[in-house]
Amino acid sequence: MKYTFTSQEGKKEEITPERWVWGVVYLDDSEFHQFGKDGVFHQIREIKWNKVKMFTMYKSDDIKRRIDLLVLPNMQVFHFYRNVHAYYFKNFKDTVKAYVFGYKIKGTKHACYNFILPDDRIVISDKNNVDLPKLELHRE
């Protein structure tokens, strides 16, 4: 299925779902997903963070494969992608995508980073600078 993304400038684009996608459950138990049931691709900035009780990363083809993060008022949740070039890739332009999400506790140095690798392994660290190529990354 294709989803419609509308840029801030109003330009429309068709998007295919990623392997892993995010969703949130609000305090009233309503849900909001990166790839909405309405056929719209949503950006993370659209989330109403002050009303979120759970942030979830799940496989787009199997919602039972998921990682749930309970959100507390002092948490700053983040989600981004990291394109990684491993030293053993033949071409320098070859990269793999890792999904990165987690949280920081406001006013402290405490953080939790979750890295979802191309083979669906999950690495959890309190640091953002994990040397991912040491984990023998392979293409999806």
Give the residue ranges of DSSP H helices in 41-133.
none
Kindly report, residue by residue over 114-123, the tens digit of the pLDDT: 999 988 989 9
pLDDT of residue 140: 57
Q: Measured in Å, how far apart are the chain's first and last C-alpha atoms?
A: 20
pTM, full prediction: 0.85
Mean per-residue pLDDT of the chain? 88
Distance between CA atoms of residues 112 and 127, nearest Å: 7
